[in-house]
Amino acid sequence: MSFLDQLQELSTKSKCFNAACWGIFGFGVIKLTTLILRCMALFADLYILPPVNFSKYGAKKGAYCVITGASDGIGKEFAYQMASRGFNVILISRTISKLEALKEEIEKKYNVRAKILAVDISADDSSNYTKIRQICDSLPITALINNVGLSHSIPVPFLETEEDELRNIITINNTATLMITQIVTPHIIQSIKSKQASRGLILTMGSFGGLIPTPLLATYSGSKAFLQSWSNSLAGELSGDKIDVQLVLSYLVTSSMSKIRRTSMMIPSPKKFVQSTLGSFGRRCGSQERYATMTPFWSHAIYEFVIDETFGVYSKIVNAINYSFHKSIRTRALKKAATLAKQQ
């Protein structure tokens, strides 16, 4: 008797076997259907659905948007593009000369008000937060963009990470973000109650370094993973206050933090990245399975989607690939530093 004949005979005699086959078939259909639906949602989020109307967040109504890390890179672009939408802005960063130049440019170009505050967020000093409270006092604030962040100077084993670098990363990425959000959010709630806007907005910059556990960037990776859980939790807490909270995930963007200067399909400029963020705000794009999270730039979204649907962000193989990638970066950086040292 052939194998197929044996299989057919077994199927006629065993109800359990038939049930198992149908169960496997049904499970496969469900998985395929959900995959197709997620693909359709990804495509709609990235290419079909219209951008949000920021008037509900107080655009062109005299409302203010607070932006941290505002003097360079992505933060500077958020300042430009929120001002272009009709928001007054409060710009917080470290370098007063850059802030003054940015303030003058924004007020002249977009005909909005800009307030500036220079503080060193890496110094976990209560006076910093006192100054932030003072500049926000009595202003109709409806939006907060938590952009300030710090990574390692180069990929480094955790056991070799200098204490100052470790503490600065946690202070800037986590402590300061939480403290500033606590200061600004009551102003947003009050502005909604006074009809300055119908909804409020809190947007926090995350990273693929937090999405995917990243060897040789362990402290930075952990700090950004913390923001994922915190931001999602905050979204649940503030939904009843009509505040939209969203974590924004990015892969690489040309910036002083990434030390990348050339754009490519996978590496947009800050301008392109912020355009995609504000253009698809409120949608998940590549973060189809994550609440209150978005991966707005199209190539980053597809990259995350593929990882999620294949190996998974927490898989051993993705971890190993990430380790190899950052080990190579570290090797090149150390070699370059050694060459420069010899030349001096």
Please name the residue that has the structure tokens 């299989």: 7
Q: Which of the residue ranges 3-7, 127-131, 285-289 has the most confident prediction, judged by mean pLDDT?
A: 127-131
As a whole number of angstroms, the distance between CA 228 and CA 225 comes to 5
Q: How many CB atoms lie within 10 A of CB 28?
A: 10
* Residues in binding site for substrate: 207
Q: What is the mean pLDDT of residues 289-301?
A: 95
What is the rounded distance in angstroms from the CA atom of residue 34 to the CA atom of residue 42? 12
Q: What's phi and psi for 120, nearest 5 deg?
A: -95, 100
Counting Cα atoms < 13 Å in the Cβ hemisphere of 159 gives: 0
Note whether 114 and 137 are within 8 A (CB): no
Tens digit of each residue's pLDDT (9 = 90 or more) over 315-341: 999 999 999 999 999 999 999 999 998
Instruction: With H, G, I as helix, E, B as strand and everything else as coil, classify residue 158.
Output: helix
Which pTM was predicted? 0.89
Is the pLDDT reported for residue 23 higher than 60?
Answer: yes
Q: Six-digit token pair at 12?
A: 């006629």
Q: For residue 185, give the DSSP letter.
A: H
Q: Tens digits of per-residue pLDDT, 223-268?
A: 999 999 999 999 999 999 999 999 999 999 998 777 788 899 999 9
Residues 319/213, Cβ–Cβ less than 8 Å = yes
Provide φ and ψ at 105, rounded to 5°. -65, -45
Which amino acid belongs to residue 295? T
* pLDDT tens column, 39-78: 999 999 999 999 999 999 999 999 999 999 999 999 999 9
* Catalytic residue, candidates 80, 110, 220, 251: 220
| pLDDT at position 89 | 98
Q: Any alpha helices (H) in 44-175, and if so which ranges?
A: 73-84, 96-110, 126-136, 163-170
* pLDDT value at 170 more than 60: yes
Task: Give the annotated binding-site residues.
Answer: 207
Q: Output the pLDDT for position 133.
A: 97
> How much is the pLDDT for 3?
52
**Catalytic residue flag (residue 220):** yes
Query: What are the structural domain ranges in the chain?
Result: 48-335
Please tell me the CATH code under which domain 48-335 is placed. 3.40.50.720
**pLDDT of res. 307:** 94
3-state secondary structure of 71: coil
